Structure 1
Amino acid sequence: MIDTRELYAPTLLYVVGPPAVGKMTVAYEIAQRTGLKVFHNHLSIEPALRFFEFGSPPFVRTVSEFRSRIFTEVASSNLPGLIFTFVWAFDLPSDQAELEHYATPFRSRGGQVIYLELSASEEVRLERNKGELRLAEKPSKRDLEWSQRNLLELDRKYQLNSNGEFDERADYLRIDNTELSADTVALRTIEHFGLGWQISE
């Protein structure tokens, strides 16, 4: 078996955007075609919620330390890389600092760090908020009344899309997927960033 470390530096793909925009679904479609592993943000959130209140200091520490360990271990392994989904509040410098922190082990190995930003209308996202995969993977979202209210509150409180701020960057791709399938977005992303080399026959 070929050790991918001999051929490629690890790839870190951030899939960012507001709640229920389709980040996780797109991530799984990309993973199917590239071999990259999916680490959606609720894989760290849901276990911590069993013990600590969301946003509390022990919750934040637990989530941050778990995420950091996964990023470090994947970057130093023979895996081709990682896809991480994240609700990025662009008006919070701490969110950008967090993403840079997680990227450090990938950059230190000469890996590429790339960004896919998704946007969709609020109406479409409210519908996707009830999606089967979303509710299966994210138990805390199954309280639909709370989940819908939280989505709307986050939309009002934070800037959850870049509004074109990074469009000139080679490491950044922004797609409005209001009317696009996850499959279409995945293929467009793979082509844009040249991830086809990871597709196995």
Structure 2
Amino acid sequence: MHVVFIHGPAASGKHTIGTHVAEVLGIPLFHNHLAVDAALALFEFGSPGFRRLRAAIWSAAFAEAAAAGRSFVFTFHPEASVDPALIESLTESVRAHGGEMVFVELLCSPEAIAQRLDQPSRRRFGKLTDVALYRSIERAGGFAFPPLPPPSLRIDTEAHTPEQSAALIVALLHKTG
């Protein structure tokens, strides 16, 4: 059982690449906005209720999938409203059932992020699309997050297409078994 944990900044291609990886491997994509959107239905972003509900959804999903031996792709944008201890808890939940977390970091320049934020595909998911708001959140420390576990792979999404990026991830998984 593997969790392909794809993380990177907004508009770095997490969902697009994750979709390709999931399709090639025949496993589900558990896009972080599934939990975010559920929590937003009841609570304001970043509020204590929002944070608890999002964490509970992620925790339950990881635990149930690990217990069932169900591999999946997960996307994550490191940001300040997430308790950093949650990542270790999710990892331990997977490892407790003999699974493995495979961390993949996507890299993207601030200029490319600004160009990509307003893409129609982002609007469809209710994602952040306003460059001025993004920069304001960034200046206020909203994307501050301690380092995640060392990635098994780093991909510059400006140098690789989503399909090429997905192929790199799939190749990595085939090497690691």
Using the alignment, how far apart are the partners of 2:14 and 2:165 within structure 1? 10
Structure 1 residue corresponding to 2:155, chosen from 175, 178, 196: 175
Which of the residues 45, 51, 58 maps onto 2:42?
51
Question: In the aligned structure 1, how far is the partner of 2:9 from the partner of 2:42?
Answer: 26
Structure 1, 172-181 or 151-160: larger mean CA deviation: 151-160
Residue from 1, 6, 20 that aligns with 2:11: 20
Question: Which residue of the partner structure matches residue 26 of structure 2?
Answer: 35
> Residue 109 of structure 2 corresponds to which residue in structure 1?
121
Structure 1 residue runs without a partner (length 5+): 1-9
2:11–2:113 Cα contact (<8 Å) kept: yes
- Contact kept? 1:15, 1:83, Cα under 8 Å: yes
CA contact (8 A) 1:15 1:117 kept: yes
Provide the rounded CA distance (Å) in 2 between the counterparts of 1:19 and 1:173.
18
State the 1:196 CA deviation: 9.4
**Residues 67 and 130 of structure 1, relative CA distance in 2, 3 Å threshold:** same
2:76 is matched with 86
TM-score, normalising length: structure 1: 0.76
The separation in 2 between residues aligned to 1:160 and 1:61, in whole angstroms, is 18
- Pick the aligned partner of 2:64 from 73, 81, 90: 73
Number of the residue aligned with 1:151: 134
Structure 1 residues 24 and 161: alpha-carbon distance in aligned structure 2, compared to 1, 3 A threshold: farther
1:119–1:161 contact (8 Å) kept in structure 2: no
Give the superposed CA RMSD.
2.7
CA distance in 1, matches of 2:94, 2:19: 21
Q: Give runs of aligned pairs for residues 92-111 of structure 1, distance below 5 A.
A: 94-95=83-84, 97-111=85-99
Task: Return the TM-score normalized by structure 2.
Answer: 0.85
Which runs of no fewer than 5 residues in structure 2 stay unpaired? none
Letter in 2 for 1:44: A
8 A Cα contact 2:46 2:81, kept in partner: no
CA displacement at 1:21 relative to structure 2? 0.8
